[in-house]
Amino acid sequence: MRGNDGTRTGGEILVDQLAIHGVRHVFCVPGESYLAALDAFHDSKIALTVCRHENAASMMAEAVGKTTGRPGICFVTRGPGATNASAGIHIARQDSSPMIVFVGQVGRHMREREAFQELDYRAVFGSIAKWATEIDDPARIPELISRAFHTACNGRPGPVVIAVPEDMLIERAMVPDASPYEPAEIWPGLTDMSRLQKMLWTSKRPIALVGGSRWSEAACAALMRFAERFALPVATTFRRGHLFDALHPCYAGDMGIGPNPKLLARVKGADLVLLIGGRMSEMSSQSYTLFDIPEPQMKLVHVHPGAEELGRVYHPALAIQAAPTAFCSALEGLQPPNEIAWRGESDIAHADYLAWSEKATPQPGTVNLGEILVWLRENLPSGAIITNGAGNFAAWIHRFYRFRKFATHVGPTSGSMGYGFPAALAMKTLHPDRAVVCIAGDGDFLMTGQDFATAVQYKLPVIVVLADNGLYGTIRMHQEREYPGRVIGTALHNPDFVAYALAFGGHGALAEKTADFPAAFAEAVATGKPSIIHLRIDPEAIAPGATLTGIRDKALAGGGGKSGTHRG
């Protein structure tokens, strides 16, 4: 309880700072190690969501950070709570998402004895988090929380881990609050922009690739105007399809899993690549085969908010340290050449994209996931949010779903299984009026499926479209390719997912044929409950363009070997 002598407990000071910095939602699994902070939420306006596993709590917080650009917050207990949360912390790292994780810590007087669940969080999270620290003195909470918000958001965003000793949270202090943080915008210099303009003027076949974080709806709109004025083809990198309207005439497609070969050829044949926000890491670069390292074969203009990323892998012809938000607004000042040498190319690139994504490929079995994605893209409102974790099922999202608006796709570039469901819960928490659909694999869903209880508890009517092939399909695919016919460790015996949903108090329906899906979806919407639509997918239907037997036969015939496609 707050004292009337002007003092507050560490827990109260902490929760007050969160409110000042604009936090509205916090995700947690409680622990006795941070009871005093939990108590401070009792009288706070911040909505607290209590989860069933720290993997879900941390992924929900990450999804908030990823989509809002402001740190998502979670609270977990010491030891196992913290290590369980590491999945979300790792996603925030790879996806460049701002996030702050508070971890209860043993009392200060018993530190270093390996007390109950004691860990050294600076050491444990030192290489995953952007910053890991511990607060020793309640009077320094405003300073250190302010630093945490700035650190999580500035430059290349990322996760911050803060350990808070149990007794520190109870101690009283008299200390003024910090003022609200403002992330520092990173503007490109005038010289950068005029050099870019010159490079565009002399280019014959340029293309823009977009990814990373620090985007906004306004930045995406500015980029689209720039692309129109320059007739520039624009492709999105792995799991960043939502950064460019898929039906915009300059959209060239998605560069992640199983990309259009014509798009790959276009990128390889470009003389100038304008990479905005992304790192062109393993997935988008097709296992680092697209650009020569360190000197790309084409001119690379790399725009990134983190100075440390510029020249890290690829030596850019022009390195611009800028956030996509600022850079895209600076693009408004560039003038296209009088004669655009590549005129017509964006139309061809877009036609290639439309042809590639238009129609579902035929699949073995009675449920065609591609046709379901096509149905969803035609029938969901444009503001609907799609989430996913990792598995081959996601290849159909990347190929057939057409994202139209910023932050309508929430998926981990880190390839973390289990992400889609908690991300869906986070999105429904932020946007109760928008449709939120999680596309999940059978393996993927059950990594965080315990939090279906959270969906029911908080009345979050997300719809899970669960593609059940009875396999850790991605791994089976690689297994058949590398060790054909030697199946081990990739078969799954699954529960009855409809009964699962019902047991939790949600809604479940089975779709055994593609044609069952629209009615099952409409029924799920009508129930207003968290729902699972269980799709029985033929295990042979391993990818939009391949069957398991086909992959095995090819490998047995000696055509195997790593192709670098469809990784986690």
Ligand X SMILES: Cc1ncc(C[n+]2csc(CCOP(=O)(O)OP(=O)(O)O)c2C)c(N)n1
Q: Which parts of this chain interact with Mg ion (CB under 5 A)?
A: 441-443, 469, 471, 473
Q: Is 110 helix (H, G, I), strand (E, B) or coil?
A: helix
How many whole angstroms separate alpha carbon 165 and alpha carbon 115?
12
Of these partners, ligand X, Mg ion, none, which one is at the site of residue 281 (CB under 5 to 8 Å by kind)? none
Identity of the residue, 14 or 395, whose beta carbon is nearer to Mg ion in the bound complex: 395
Pick the closer one to ligand X by CB: 276 or 464. Answer: 464
Q: Is 158 in the site for ligand X (CB under 6 A)?
A: no
Toward ligand X, which CB reaches closer, 328 or 425?
A: 425
**Minimal distance, residue 392 CB to ligand X, in Å:** 4
Q: Among residues 394 and 425, whose Cβ is nearest to Mg ion?
A: 394
CB atoms within 10 A of CB 529: 21
How far is the C-alpha of 130 from the C-alpha of 65, rounded, in Å? 14
Residue 329 or 392: the one with the smaller Cβ distance to ligand X is 392
Distance in Å, CB of 491 to ligand X, minimum: 11
Q: How far is the CB of 475 from Mg ion (least distance, A)?
A: 9
- Smallest gap from residue 548 Cβ to Mg ion (A): 12
Find the DSSP H helices in 163-278.
166-170, 190-202, 217-230, 261-268
Q: Which of 15, 232, 386, 417 binds ligand X (CB under 6 A)?
A: 417
Both tokens assigned to 242: 């939502």
Question: DSSP letter at 303?
Answer: E
- How many residues interact with ligand X (rule CB under 6 A)? 19
Toward ligand X, which CB reaches closer, 346 or 392? 392
Tell me how far, at minimum, the Cβ of 466 lies from Mg ion, in Å: 9
CA distances to 133, 193, 560 from 89, rounded to whole Å, are: 14, 35, 36
CB 382 within 8 A of CB 404: yes
Residues forming a β-bridge with 72 = 99
Least distance (Å) from ligand X to the CB of residue 475? 5
Which is closer to ligand X, CB of 109 or CB of 493?
Answer: 493
Cβ 223 vs Cβ 332: under 8 Å: no
Query: Both tokens of residue 333?
Result: 């000042």
Q: CB of 188 within 8 A of CB of 320?
A: yes
Q: Is 473 in the site for ligand X (CB under 6 A)?
A: yes
Q: Helices in 108-179 by DSSP H: which ranges?
A: 121-125, 141-153, 166-170
Among 469, 479, 514, 547, binds ligand X (CB under 6 A): 469
Contact string 307-326 vs ligand X (x = CB under 6 A): --------------------
Q: Contact 159/152 with Cβ under 8 angstroms?
A: yes
Query: What tokens were used for 319?
Result: 């390195």
Q: Distance between CA atoms of 179 and 59, rounded to whole angstroms?
A: 28
In the complex, the smallest distance separating the C-beta of residue 443 from Mg ion, rounded to whole angstroms, is 5
In angstroms, rounded to a whole number, what is the distance separating the alpha carbons of residues 12 and 18?
Answer: 10
Cα gap 177→244, rounded to integer Å: 40
Distance between CA 58 and CA 49 in Å, rounded? 11
| Interaction pattern, residues 420-449, with ligand X; x per rule: CB under 6 A | ---------------------xxxx-----
Nearer to ligand X, 349 or 555 (CB): 555
Report what 544 binds from Mg ion, ligand X, none; CB cut-off 5-8 Å by kind: none
Which of 238, 472, 497, 504 is in the footprint of ligand X by CB under 6 A? 472
Angstrom distances, CA of residue 426 to CA of 53, 161, 173, 241:
14, 20, 34, 20
Q: Which of 441, 468, 466, 447 is nearest to 530 (CA)?
A: 466
547 binds, among ligand X, Mg ion, none (CB under 5 to 8 A by kind): none
Quick one: 254 or 442, whose CB is closer to ligand X? 442
- Quick one: 272 or 542, whose CB is closer to Mg ion? 542
Question: Of Mg ion, ligand X, none, which one does residue 416 interact with (CB within 5 to 8 Å by kind)?
Answer: ligand X
Residue 273, beta-bridge partner list: 207, 300
Q: Is 99 helix (H, G, I), strand (E, B) or coil?
A: strand
Residue found by looking up tokens 């430059």 in the block: 155
Identified binder of ligand X from the candidate list 203, 388, 474, 479, rule CB under 6 A: 474
Binding mask 377-416 toward ligand X (x if CB under 6 A, else -) reads -------------xxxx---------------------xx
User: Smallest distance, Å, CB 441 to ligand X?
Assistant: 2
Does 475 interact with ligand X (rule: CB under 6 A)?
A: yes
Interatomic CA distance for residues 561 and 424, integer angstroms: 36
Question: Which of Mg ion, ligand X, none does residue 31 bind to, with CB < 5 to 8 Å depending on kind?
Answer: none
- Residues near ligand X, by CB under 6 A: 390-393, 415-417, 441-444, 467, 469, 471-475, 568
